[in-house]
């Protein structure tokens, strides 16, 4: 069974009685363990699609199934619970608390979970170690480089052991070297841990870390192809 399935997905925005379509009949499946990159220029609908897939917005038409249930079968409380426990998010702007240290930033999703507080620190430490930042535990996020901040954001996304990672332009604010390091970590999560990854990007070199590249144009899927051969991640082989 597919982890994600969308059928004829539609999304429109209305402003001053003018309706603007963002998604137009989008259909696809993503299986558990896949790494899919969704590409497209500004205005193509890729961010709108990510918001729907991540339960941050609802479609105007069509059907979205996550883990076998349609989004309409979840109550608002259930949506929030699934989003916190089964989905991890990595954003271009990091979304970290500036005056909070690395350990406490990574603990944040645990505050809204049913996991006993006695386990929070060990889970956070494990996630931080997986991105190679154990030596930065006490540093505030404002003291870190851009690449380090994004690695903290990845650790925070991992701390709940989610079924899927949504990465929205994760290298957009990074230099090429830091961006490559971040993409190797994300690719390693897929290759070594079998995590499902959905990456939103406009950068070809970033998308090439995926197993499959979907291109959107004007709210429609223009192409959806498997990547013939991708470079293996080295981050998790050290």
CA–CA gap between residue 197 and residue 34 (Å, rounded): 6
User: Does 203 fall in a domain?
Assistant: yes
Domain count across the chain: 1
Could you tell me the CATH number of the domain that includes residue 116? Answer: 3.40.50.300
User: Does 70 fall in a domain?
Assistant: no
User: Does 215 fall in a domain?
Assistant: yes
User: Does 174 fall in a domain?
Assistant: yes
CB distance 97 to 141 below 8 Å:
yes
CA–CA gap between residue 155 and residue 224 (Å, rounded): 29
- Cβ within 8 Å of residue 104, ≥6 positions away: 97
Q: What is the pLDDT of residue 236?
A: 44
CB distance 53 to 214 below 8 Å:
no
User: Does 1 fall in a domain?
Assistant: no
CA–CA gap between residue 48 and residue 56 (Å, rounded): 9
What is the pTM (predicted TM-score) of this model?
0.91
Show the domain range for 233: 34-45+77-237
Q: What is the pLDDT along the chain (238 residues), one digit of tens a residue?
A: 799 999 999 999 988 888 899 999 999 999 999 999 999 998 899 999 999 999 999 999 999 999 999 988 889 899 999 999 999 999 999 999 989 999 999 999 999 899 999 999 999 999 999 999 999 999 999 999 999 999 999 999 999 999 999 999 999 989 999 999 999 999 999 998 999 999 999 888 899 999 999 999 999 999 999 987 666 666 543 4
CA–CA gap between residue 197 and residue 193 (Å, rounded): 11
Task: Return phi, psi of residue 57, to 5°.
Answer: -155, 165
Tell me which DSSP letter residue 233 carries: P
User: Does 16 fall in a domain?
Assistant: no
**How do strand 18-30 and strand 4-15 relate by DSSP bridges?**
antiparallel
CA–CA gap between residue 226 and residue 229 (Å, rounded): 9
User: Does 9 fall in a domain?
Assistant: no
Q: What is the pLDDT of residue 16?
A: 81
User: Does 69 fall in a domain?
Assistant: no
């Amino acid at each position: 069974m597919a982890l994600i399935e969308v059928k004829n997905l539609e999304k429109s925005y209305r402003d001053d009685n003018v309706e603007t379509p963002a998604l137009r009949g989008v259909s696809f499946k993503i299986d558990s363990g896949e790494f899919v990159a969704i590409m497209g220029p500004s205005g193509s609908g890729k961010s709108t699609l990510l918001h729907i897939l991540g339960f941050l917005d609802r479609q105007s038409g069509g059907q979205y199934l996550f883990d076998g249930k349609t989004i309409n079968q979840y109550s608002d409380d259930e949506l929030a619970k699934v989003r916190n426990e089964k989905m991890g998010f990595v954003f271009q702007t990091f979304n970290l608390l500036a005056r909070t240290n690395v350990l406490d930033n990574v603990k944040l999703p645990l505050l809204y979970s049913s996991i006993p507080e006695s386990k929070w620190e060990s889970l956070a430490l494990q996630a931080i170690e997986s991105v190679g930042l154990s030596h930065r535990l006490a540093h505030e996020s404002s003291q870190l480089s851009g690449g380090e901040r994004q690695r903290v954001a990845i650790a925070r996304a991992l701390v709940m052991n989610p079924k899927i990672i949504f990465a929205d332009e994760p290298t957009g604010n990074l230099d090429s070297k830091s961006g490559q390091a971040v993409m190797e970590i994300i690719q390693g999560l897929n290759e070594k841990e079998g995590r499902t990854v959905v990456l939103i990007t406009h950068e070809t070199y970033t998308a090439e870390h995926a197993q499959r590249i979907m291109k959107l144009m004007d709210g429609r899927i223009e192409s959806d192809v498997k990547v013939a051969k991708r470079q293996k991640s080295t981050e998790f082989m050290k």
